[in-house]
Structure 1
Amino acid sequence: MRYDTFTNPAGRFVPTLDGIRAFVPNPLPPNLDMAAIADSLGDARAALGELRGACRRLQNPMILIRPLQRREALTSSAMEGTYSTDDELVLAEAGLAPAPSDDTQEVANFVRALSGALFRIGDEPITNRLIRDAHRVLMTRLSRYRGAHRHPGEFKRDQNMIWGADLRTARFIPPPPRDALDCMTDLERYINREPKPHAGEALLDLALVHYQFETIHPFADGNGRVGRMLISLMAVSTGLLDSPALYLSPAIEQEKDAYIDAMYAVSARSEWTAWIDFFCQAVCRSCHQTIETIDRLIDLEQDYRNRITAIKSGNAATIVSMLFESPAITPGRVAERLSISDMGARKLLSRMAELGLIQEVAGLYPKAYIAEGIIAAARGR
């Protein structure tokens, strides 16, 4: 770590292994120049207001939420070197992939961890227990090589590092395990402080808490994904959004180097204004991208409903709703959902395939279909 670059650090150094020093961030909140960040916060609040209004246009929010969560899972995981595809993910989610790769399983775990945590924050606060549980889900069902050494659901036991072959060459060395635990206790207390922050403070908290979590790096692995997951959770728990529709990874990925540099600059030089400006710009980009996705999905859903009139079956409308929640579908699931025979379900899906609404997945038995149009709309294509 280049200690000489820490000219005005937002924390302190403590000894760790082999005489090397690790960085421990100061507790939140920092002293901020509120006038300098007022415009950025205002722009981001306005963008969130537009997104909130766009979400209210949806009769069924799940036609948006599930595609957004898949996109977040794919992008956030790719930022950490874990890659899958849209088709592989939806098949794994639906339990239709006979033997998903470790990468695909890990991305599917992200969706499960995120959706499970979002469900829980309706009844409980964001705590270290919830964060550890999300990490446990993220790191389960993996091969022994991929998952065991990451200690699913546990804070780190050993000193970790960011960007480097060893501690001496690492770009950044986060707090040692004991200090990290103290930092996470402080962070939990800050997130759940009383009185609750108003809307402007809540948005600021998203930026502050994300930096703090990433700097603490409390897990052996998976910190980036859990940290970005925390943004989505806090956007709902603080009341910034009614629906879980803020997912920053696609917007951050476009500026990944700047994202990393901006957080490093906070640690090294206390450049909070630049970090908050960057974060708010990412919020604005994400909101605008999601509003465009809402428009595409609404238009596509209406197109599907117009086209299924050729089938002359009321059951086709239910299948369309099923597809927007999960683009992978089988005759067996249709038969179960509609309480019809397997033969009737196969005929309906075959007719929808003829209309181009779904495409058969080659090489799978029992037969399965994917709605490629829905996947493409969610990805912005």
Structure 2
Amino acid sequence: MIRSDAVHITPEILALIAGIDEFKGAWRALGTLAPDRLSALRRVATIESIGSSTRIEGSRLSDRDVERLLSNLQIKSFTTRDEQEVAGYAGVMELVFSSWQDIALTENHVKQLHRDLLTYSEKDAWHRGNYKTSTNSVVAFDEDGNQLGVVFATATPFDTQPLMTELITWFNEERAAERLHPLLLIGIWVVVFLEIHPFQDGNGRLSRVLTTLLLLQAGYAYVPYSSLESVIEQSKEAYYLALRQTQGTIRSDAPNWQPWLTFFLRALAEQVRRLNRKVERERLVLAALPELSLQIVEFTREHGRITMGDAIRLTGSSRNTLKQHFRALVERGHLEQQGSGRGVWYELK
């Protein structure tokens, strides 16, 4: 039985929830961003999410690699395991973004999402969409994809089915009863799901997909526009530590939810902070930049970088005119210059 009555609400947890919910309300009232700007934000966030979530599990593909792969998804032929994982994650993310209202939290839907997540992964064909049949442990990887060691043991295959039934029943009952704040409820769901580790592989990636699904269903509509996975990737040590501290206590009479919930809420707060910064930049750009500079910034946001050659092809303007715009954009803090001579390129600051 999941003892959610033992949640210790610290002042920090309260403050984090208040800040996240304040942004949630502000986002709902935000009508100033044009649809094409929202679309650009979502594309960047999606690339970051796919890249980060697969790298947490040992993939070596950069965000640039992910972007290239996404532009060729229609080929449906991916030679490496990393490419197969990225393609599967992209498909599931798109499904969640487009159909979150229709995906009830049931064991069948969780299994279906797992199957879709691994749909291109040849080595996972034997187990996708099915609970594990042999013991698996949570393993941490460093930034080079090397295994750092076992983080914690997980549920046995024998216990997995009843524990998943219990977790999903508990979540749906608690969500209906509204006894716990949605963010606390989702946080507990994630950490128990990872403690069970119900599938042979893909549990970490699936947990982050399900987090996005449950946040959208709880009304956090801004989630697709800022990458939570990127925040987690950049604080992996704290992520694994918080998991370990809480997961060792889950089956005890006094589960300690606080380490994980504090990490989870801090990550959500950082996701909000990054999106807020992007929105403010959008407003600044839209309000103050000449059309030519705006085109340069938009191209850079879409593609991650821009060269003088890109700008000439994009705008049809002369090199001298564009030099003035690049100089102004660098001086005003919109772009950062990289490289030198003929190899100069620019990225968002």
Q: Which residue of structure 2 lines up, in the alignment, with residue 4 of structure 1?
A: none
Q: Is the 8 A contact 1:112 1:138 kept in 2?
A: yes
Distance 1:257 1:156 in 2: 26
Q: Is the 8 A contact 1:122 1:237 kept in 2?
A: yes
Say if 2:210 is the partner of 1:234: no
Distance 1:263 1:52 in 2: 29
How far 1:327 sits from its partner (Å)? 5.0
Say if 2:252 is the partner of 1:276: no
Give unpaired runs (5+ residues) of structure 2. 141-148, 250-254, 305-310, 326-344
Q: Which residue of structure 2 lines up, in the alignment, with residue 292 of structure 1?
A: 277
Deviation by residue 1:193-231 (Cα, 9 ceiling, x = unmatched): 266355961010121011011101011111111112222
How far 1:112 sits from its partner (Å)? 1.4
Q: Aligned ranges for residues 1-381 of structure 1 at < 5 Å?
A: 27-34=1-8, 36-50=9-23, 52-54=25-27, 56=30, 57-60=32-35, 61-95=38-72, 100=78, 101-142=80-121, 144-145=122-123, 147-149=124-126, 151-163=127-139, 170-193=150-173, 196=176, 198=178, 201-241=181-221, 244-245=224-225, 247-269=227-249, 270-297=255-282, 306-307=291-292, 327=303, 350-352=313-315, 377=348, 381=349
Q: Is the 8 A contact 2:138 2:150 kept in 1?
A: yes
Distance 1:103 1:94 in 2: 16
Distance 1:102 1:252, change over 3 A: same
Deviation by residue 1:138-162 (Cα, 9 ceiling, x = unmatched): 21223x34x335x222221222122
- Count the aligned residue pairs: 301
Q: Which residue of structure 1 lines up, in the alignment, with residue 252 of structure 2?
A: none
Deviation by residue 1:288-323 (Cα, 9 ceiling, x = unmatched): 0222233345556778981289xxxxxxx9xx99x7
Q: Is the 8 A contact 1:75 1:249 kept in 2?
A: yes
User: What amino acid does structure 2 have at the position aligned with 1:81?
Assistant: G
Give unpaired runs (5+ residues) of structure 1. 1-26, 310-316, 329-347, 358-371
Deviation by residue 1:316-369 (Cα, 9 ceiling, x = unmatched): x9xx99x799759xxxxxxxxxxxxxxxxxxx9944487889xxxxxxxxxxxx
User: What amino acid does structure 2 have at the position aligned with 1:281?
Assistant: R
Q: Which residue of structure 2 lines up, in the alignment, with residue 22 of structure 1?
A: none
Q: Is the 8 A contact 1:73 1:110 kept in 2?
A: yes
Q: Which residue of structure 2 lines up, in the alignment, with residue 20 of structure 1?
A: none
Distance 1:178 1:349 in 2: 63
Partner secondary structure for residue 218 of structure 1: coil
User: What amino acid does structure 2 have at the position aligned with 1:139?
Assistant: L
Give the alignment's TM-score, normalised by structure 2: 0.72
How far 1:245 sits from its partner (Å)? 4.2
Partner secondary structure for residue 176 of structure 2: coil
Distance 1:29 1:157 in 2: 27
Distance 1:67 1:80 in 2: 21
How far 1:71 sits from its partner (Å)? 0.7
Distance 1:301 1:214, change over 3 A: farther
Distance 2:171 2:179 in 1: 14
Distance 2:110 2:288 in 1: 40
Q: Which residue of structure 2 lines up, in the alignment, with residue 362 of structure 1?
A: none
Q: Is the 8 A contact 1:90 1:326 kept in 2?
A: no
Q: Is the 8 A contact 1:44 1:281 kept in 2?
A: no
Distance 1:133 1:324 in 2: 37
Partner secondary structure for residue 162 of structure 1: strand
Deviation by residue 1:77-126 (Cα, 9 ceiling, x = unmatched): 11110121233222221227977543133223212112202322212322
Distance 1:44 1:95, change over 3 A: same
Q: Is the 8 A contact 2:51 2:62 kept in 1?
A: yes
Q: Is the 8 A contact 1:248 1:286 kept in 2?
A: yes
User: What amino acid does structure 1 have at the position aligned with 2:191?
Assistant: Y
User: What amino acid does structure 2 have at the position aligned with 1:59?
Assistant: A
Deviation by residue 1:156-197 (Cα, 9 ceiling, x = unmatched): 122212239xxxx95522112231111111122123226635
How far 1:75 sits from its partner (Å)? 0.9
Q: Is the 8 A contact 2:151 2:244 kept in 1?
A: no
Partner secondary structure for residue 238 of structure 2: helix
Distance 1:303 1:83 in 2: 39
Distance 1:300 1:220, change over 3 A: farther
Q: Is the 8 A contact 2:84 2:120 kept in 1?
A: yes
More helix by share: 2
Distance 2:194 2:313 in 1: 48
Partner secondary structure for residue 135 of structure 2: coil
Select between 203-212 and 258-267 the one with higher mean Cα deviation. 258-267
User: What amino acid does structure 1 have at the position aligned with 2:234?
Assistant: Q
